[in-house]
Structure 1
Amino acid sequence: MTDRGRDALRTTPTRLRIGPSEMHWTGSQLRIDVNEISSPPLVSRMRGRIVVTPEAVTDVELPLTDDGAHVWRPFAPVSRIRVDLDAPGWQFSGHGYFDANFGTRRLEDDFSYWTWGRFPTKAGAACFYDADRLDGTTLQAALAFDGQGRGRDVPAPPRTDFRRSNWLLRRETRADPGTTPKQVKAMLDAPFYNRAVVETVINGETVRGVHEALDLNRYANPLLKPMLAVRVPRRRSWPQA
């Protein structure tokens, strides 16, 4: 993926285009057309389409700080996804979701660490957002969503540590007492960020979902930030169209 300049941005009420890739909301589906070059060490062309079909679109917003400078927006926590990329083995369909984070300040200005997880359940999906803020306060959010997109706060099992990442990044998520979460599939592993499919037990139900851990103290380290330029190259210009 590539960090591009303002000239690469095109928007309409239903379409977001950045360089050669775009997202288009049809009214019932989010269609994502990808045309990118993957990052080192396996540099290759990545083309294809991803289609997200929400069971419902929510109106839920979760402020991550008291002043609303950071907001999590779970647009479609219960969805179906179909992936069709131009590469062997990159065609599949299954349970999915679509969410986004918005903010007016740098993450490292307000947080030292956070974890997030979204787990499909028999009733819909469970989402957990836990964050340690630099002012000493914490965020501990647990939400359950049904198939109609309705969200509600629910009691959360304890924060439970599990095996550190390959970069020794601390990881934790919610789990019933007496159970330990475990990684079942690696997705992305970096010195300050880890994303993986994690299995845990919530209210007696064994679930597998996407989990992330982010260490903002590591991210703010001036020795680590230049690594982003290798993984996410920058292209300032783009042809006008």
Structure 2
Amino acid sequence: MTDQRHSTSEILPGLEPAALARPGTALRGRIHLVGIGGIGMSGIAEVLITLGYRISGSDLRASEATRRLADLGAEIHIGHDAAHVGADADVVVVSSAIDDANPEVREARRLRIPVIARAEMLAELMRMKCAVAVAGAHGKTTTTSLIADVLGRAGFDPTIVLGGRLRALGGTNARLGRSRYMVAEADESDGSFLLLKPTLAVVTNVDREHMNTYGSMERLIDAYVSFVNGIPFYGRAF
């Protein structure tokens, strides 16, 4: 049987494999995630834990996701309270469900700790990788899972951040791969996917959704165009 595996340079000329690097190497303290039990936040938290960061987080209720993260070593708090932040936090990451009135957000700002969106932390992880980001109204999780599975079977061992749990990952929604490849969903619901700068962008489809964010179909389409235009000159859009 012929070996069908290819090197990264054959797929993307000029891009060679690199050793896994920790993002944000200036961070020495703790990363705190508000809304850590959410499907998108928990995936990022799991990758950060595997990279060796100290992780804490809070959510309104305990869940399978918070229990898994606690088992992996995260400091989990149920409920939101200013005391959960602490002066040793380097950054506070918030999900789209968290507003400025949240006591942990207010405490972080009082302590002059940076408060960033989930997508900004995902973008930082992507910055260290040759990243594939999948956007679209429907089919994001399925398409992301298929791309990740193909890359895995081809021997590329990608880092994966999904918007759903995958049986092949042991029922979780994230894993840290050993290659420079990463596959992740890009959430267009609040416009934060424009923070992402992947090497490869996939748009499954566009539908009249999230009008509370965009106001019109024209502005929604413009956002997708901006997302695709954000890829580097050596990237590709599909």
TM-score class normalised by the smaller sequence: under 0.3
**TM-score, length basis structure 2:** 0.26
Greater share of residues in helix:
2
